[in-house]
Amino acid sequence: MKAGIQIMKDVFIVLDHTRTILICISDGSLPSNVGGGGNVRNILRRVFFILKKNDWWNCVGGIDGLLEIFEAHKVDLEGVYGKFAEYKSFGEIIKVEHDRWLHTDDVQADNLKKLIAKKKGTLKIDDWITCIQSWGISADTISEVAKLPIPGNLYYEIATRAERVGKKAETILYSTVHLPETENLYYKDSHALTFEAEGLTVFANVLDQGKRNLVILNKSLFYPTSGGQMNDTGKLVMNGVTYNVIDCIKVGKVVMHVVDMVIPDDMDIAGVKVEGFVDGARRTQLMAHHTGTHVVFAACRQALGPHIW
């Protein structure tokens, strides 16, 4: 009775897991050792293990038969999600993962056995996570080799630890909350190269020996470095003096123009008329590179699949 229930349980696990994998990979995820990709790899390897444990590989027709299950899921889910977009490399992703599962287990089997011997037949939760994330061994395989049940909190602990890993907080070098937002003219006309504005204030550059060379205007045509795109350069003319804009950054809602000369301490630019000139050749090149990046991205996504970001 128990054996019969276990067989049906395994059937439902395979069907549930393959459906989950289909949705995850179709949404752009890829199997890996960490994060969300680690979840995809874990459940995919559990499918491989269950098929091996029950000697079902021949029954389903090998890896090609497994891929037919994914196709059946597409048909079944079409009424909910609509027709699935073509994903040319989906089958290759599954085949590569299966090959890695086979060979990773072979290569890391000795490491696992040594670890089990060292720990005298017991494994702590940290050991399980190391084997899964660093050695690429599935939890089912660890359980089979170590003759130990999979800890009930294993996947919860993996997810919890992943949530603790975050980006280091960005260091705030300048406080601009008291300043009005810079009017970004480049969004209104990306081909314009000249503009007029009013000066607001000048900041000391903490990254350049405190030089007073960060100019803030009420509006700007200069694009600051952001979104992976480099900044504009050009010139600013204030009080008859021409300053070269060598960099442009955004702090909060304010655009800072880094100029090549120090603004004198006694020079107050508040309300001063400023003329700006953007380097047209650089702007055109940056725009072409930006557009080119999107073209390459779209081509790669069309050829390789939605996992291209």
User: Do 137 and 262 have their domain in common?
Assistant: no
Rounded to 10 degrees, the C-alpha dihedral 291/294/298/304 comes to 130
**What is the pLDDT averaged over residues 36-46?**
87
Query: What's the confidence (pLDDT) of residue 171?
Result: 77
User: Do 119 and 228 have their domain in common?
Assistant: no
What range does the domain containing 245 cover?
Answer: 183-290
The average confidence (pLDDT) of the chain is 90
Q: Report the C-alpha gap between 90 and 92 in whole angstroms.
A: 5
User: Do 114 and 214 have their domain in common?
Assistant: no
Count Cβ atoms below 10 Å from residue 22 Cβ, excluding itself: 21
| 172 inside domain | no
User: Do 143 and 226 have their domain in common?
Assistant: no
| 67 inside domain | yes
| 300 inside domain | no
| 296 inside domain | no
| Nearest partner of 4 among 54, 70, 61, 52, judged by Cα | 54
Q: Which residues make Cβ contacts (< 8 Å) with residue 308, sequence separation at least 6?
A: 28, 297, 300, 301
Query: What's the confidence (pLDDT) of residue 120?
Result: 87
Q: Tell me: pLDDT of 218 over 90.
A: yes
| 176 inside domain | no
User: Do 101 and 211 have their domain in common?
Assistant: no
Partners of 98 in the β-ladder = none
| Nearest partner of 142 among 168, 121, 170, judged by Cα | 121
**Whether the predicted model's global pTM rises above the 0.75 cut:** no
- Read off the pLDDT of residues 68-88 as tens digits, 9 standing for 90 and up: 999 999 999 999 989 998 888
| 178 inside domain | no
User: Do 127 and 55 have their domain in common?
Assistant: yes
User: Do 260 and 196 have their domain in common?
Assistant: yes
Given a contact cutoff of 8 angstroms between Cβ atoms, the answer to whether 264 and 233 are in contact is no
Percent of the chain residues topping a pLDDT of 70: 95
More confident residue, 202 or 39: 202
| 204 inside domain | yes
- Read off the pLDDT of residues 126-173 as tens digits, 9 standing for 90 and up: 998 888 887 778 788 888 888 899 998 888 888 787 776 655 666 789
| 195 inside domain | yes
More confident residue, 104 or 116: 116
Given a contact cutoff of 8 angstroms between Cβ atoms, the answer to whether 261 and 230 are in contact is no
Query: What's the confidence (pLDDT) of residue 106?
Result: 65
- Read off the pLDDT of residues 294-305 as tens digits, 9 standing for 90 and up: 999 999 988 888
Q: Report the C-alpha gap between 94 and 106 in whole angstroms.
A: 19
Domains in the chain, number:
2
Query: What's the confidence (pLDDT) of residue 134?
Result: 78
Q: What backbone torsions phi and psi does residue 259 show, to the nearest 5 degrees? A: -105, 165
> Could you say which of 164, 195, 225 is where a domain stops?
164
CATH of the domain at 240: 2.40.30.130
User: Do 223 and 117 have their domain in common?
Assistant: no
Residue 173 in tokens: 């070098």
> How long a stretch of residues is the chain?
309
User: Do 68 and 113 have their domain in common?
Assistant: yes
User: Do 158 and 211 have their domain in common?
Assistant: no
**Among the residues of the chain, which ranges form H helices?**
2-26, 35-53, 57-60, 62-81, 90-118, 125-133, 139-146, 154-164, 280-304
Cα–Cα distances in angstroms (integers) from residue 201 to residues 13, 175, 207, in the given order: 64, 13, 18
User: Do 28 and 91 have their domain in common?
Assistant: yes
Q: Which residues make Cβ contacts (< 8 Å) with residue 36, sequence separation at least 6?
A: 24, 29
Query: What's the confidence (pLDDT) of residue 107?
Result: 67
User: Do 123 and 190 have their domain in common?
Assistant: no
